[in-house]
Amino acid sequence: MFDGLKDKLSSFKKDVEEEAEVEEEDLDEDAEPTASEADPDAPAESEADAAVDAEGAEPSDSDEETPDGESDDDGSSDRGLMQRAKLAATGKKVIEPEDLEGPLEDLELALLSSDVEMNVAQDILEGIRENLVGETRAQVKTTGHVVEEALHDALVDVISVGQFDFDEHIAAADKPVTIIFTGVNGVGKTTTIAKLSQYFEERGFSTVLANGDTYRAGANEQLQQHAENLDRKIISHEQGSDPAAVIYDGVEYARANDVDVVLGDTAGRLHTSNDLMDQLEKIDRVIDPDMTLFVDEAVAGQDAVNRAREFNDAAEIDGAVLTKADADPQGGAAISIAQVTGKPILFLGTGQDYDDLEPFDPEVIVDRLLGFDEE
């Protein structure tokens, strides 16, 4: 899952390490010899003294401004070099903006080629800059570790937008909880409903399925097959019936039979399908669902991101489920959707079985992208 993006993030880390190492080698060549190197008999400066010199030294005459009020560029450059040399002597290294220029440009192209939305890519890059530029690291903490931490924080900030504890939300809500599923045709809404029914039942919540996809031929049969496989009750009407009426009957059944969760399917639609979008608005009015989840394929990449934005604008969603995540090498949709819509990704579909549904945990996803789960 997301192996392509994982490789690109690993390349960025290596690029920054290489840039920092080149600068450190140049610094070692340019730095003046220490007192002990110039005169072996001279007393060596302690690490504590070096640290004081590096971080809190008194300004010397060379630090004063020139008569016109501007600092001496050459003196400033020398002082910067000497301060960096002193930091190196105490086992520290400063990550400079120039260390990041090339790697960040490459990372931006890598993110965009992985279907990460452009503004989201920019947010990630800005987060990395803020976390890295001017950062010091001790010799015992490699540049690679510092970069990993910066990448981790920047990615988590982006993909955890709007995140909430789904299980806790369901447990605390008044029953029955009604969840409506929407999205375009063929992205796995019906299978996702069956998977979530299994997910809820494993956690002690009973479910009923309601087929509000009343226009697609075979929709009743498809959901009926899942219901039989899982031994669940299904509420359905004849093809062409009012979707809001079907889901309403599902809610009434749940109330009468103490069922915890109603899972309502709807017809696949584009956000530009006015009649179908009107149906969603009617469902909202009649049912007032507790949650509307947008379902799309992770492998759809930028198309999934754009559709999530458009659906959220047309009929506000509360979260997203990405199917076929196990077949997605890029990860652009998983990285982008929460930031673009302000609504969280809640689940990833990871296979064909009913158990192949993974709660979306930003920390776990980022650790996977950075290879932390392999350590």
- The pLDDT of residue 135 is 58
Mean pLDDT over all residues of the chain?
79
Q: Could you tell me which of 213, 162, 178 has the C-alpha nearest to residue 360?
A: 162
**Residue 37 banded pLDDT, cuts 50, 70, 90:** very low
DSSP per-residue string spanning 239-285: TT--HHHHHHHHHHHHHHTT-SEEEEEE----TT-HHHHHHHHHHHH
- Is 175 within a domain? yes
Mean pLDDT of 55-60: 47
Is 118's pLDDT higher than 80?
A: yes
For residues 129 and 248, membership in a common domain is answered with: no
**Longest Cα separation, the chain:** 98
Choice between 95 and 202, residue whose per-residue pLDDT is larger: 202
Based on the domain organization, do 195 and 118 belong to the same domain?
no
Q: Which of 90-94, 212-216, 222-226 has the lowest mean pLDDT?
A: 90-94
194: three-class secondary structure by DSSP: helix
Residues 111 and 200 both lie in one domain? no
Residue 170 and residue 139 share a domain: no
Residue finishing a domain among 136, 159, 182: 159
Does 219 or 263 have the greater pLDDT score? 263
Indicate whether 147 and 175 sit together in one domain: no
Interval 158-172 mean pLDDT: 94
Q: 17: how many CB neighbours lie within 10 A of its CB?
A: 18
The pLDDT assigned to 115 comes to 85
Task: CATH number of the domain at 179, please.
Answer: 3.40.50.300
For residue 108, give Cα distances in angstroms to 270, 304, 333, 363: 30, 20, 16, 22
User: What is the pLDDT at residue 272?
Assistant: 63
- Residues 152, 174, single domain; the answer is no
With residue 127 as reference, give the H or E element that holds it.
Answer: helix 118-132
pLDDT given for residue 48 in this prediction = 45
Q: Is residue 332 part of a domain?
A: yes
Does residue 1 or residue 154 have the better pLDDT? 154
What is the domain range of residue 337?
A: 166-361
| 79 has a pLDDT exceeding 60 | no
Instruction: Calculate mean pLDDT across residues 35-44.
Output: 49
Residue 261 lies in a domain: yes
pLDDT, average across residues 74-83 = 50
State the DSSP string of 9-51.
HHHHHHHHHHHHHHHHHHHHHHSPPPHHHH-TTSPPPPHHHHH
The whole-model pTM stands at 0.76
CA-closest candidate to residue 202, choices 265, 260, 253: 260
SS3 assignment, position 296: strand
Q: Are residues 208 and 271 in the same domain?
A: yes
Question: Is pLDDT of 138 > 80?
Answer: no
Any idea what the CATH number is for the domain that residue 16 is in? 1.20.120.140
In this structure, are residues 111 and 124 in contact, taking their beta carbons and an 8 Å threshold?
A: yes
Confidence band of 105 (pLDDT split at 50, 70, 90)? confident
Work out the average pLDDT over 253-268.
Answer: 94
Q: Is residue 42 part of a domain?
A: yes
Identify whether 67 is part of a domain.
yes
User: Residue 191: what pLDDT?
Assistant: 95
Q: Which of 159, 181, 207 is a domain's end point?
A: 159
The total of structural domains in the chain comes to 2
Does 271 lie in the same domain as 298?
A: yes
Amino acid 224: pLDDT? 92
Same domain, 28 and 70: yes
Whether 370 is in a domain gets the answer no
- Non-local CB neighbours of 331 within 8 Å, separated by 6+ positions: 1, 2, 4, 5, 6, 114, 115, 116, 298, 369
> Does residue 193 contact residue 183 with C-beta atoms inside 8 Å?
no
Confidence of residue 66 (pLDDT cuts 50, 70, 90): very low
Instruction: Tell me, yes or no, whether 242 and 258 share the same domain.
Output: yes
Answer yes or no: are the C-beta atoms of 348 and 298 closer than 8 Å.
yes
Give the Cα separation of 241 and 343 in Å (integer). Answer: 31
Per the domain annotation, does 5 fall within a domain? no
Domain end, chosen from 115, 138, 159, is at: 159
Lowest mean pLDDT among 67-81, 98-112, 274-288: 67-81
Local confidence band at 67 (pLDDT 50, 70, 90 cut-offs): very low
Same structural domain for residues 199 and 341?
yes
- Angstrom distance (rounded) from CA 170 to CA 260: 9
The answer as to whether 369 is a domain residue is no
**Whether residue 91 is found in the same domain as residue 211:** no
pLDDT tens readout for residues 234-260 = 999 988 888 999 999 999 999 999 999
Query: Are 253 and 247 in contact, with CB atoms under 8 Å apart?
Result: no
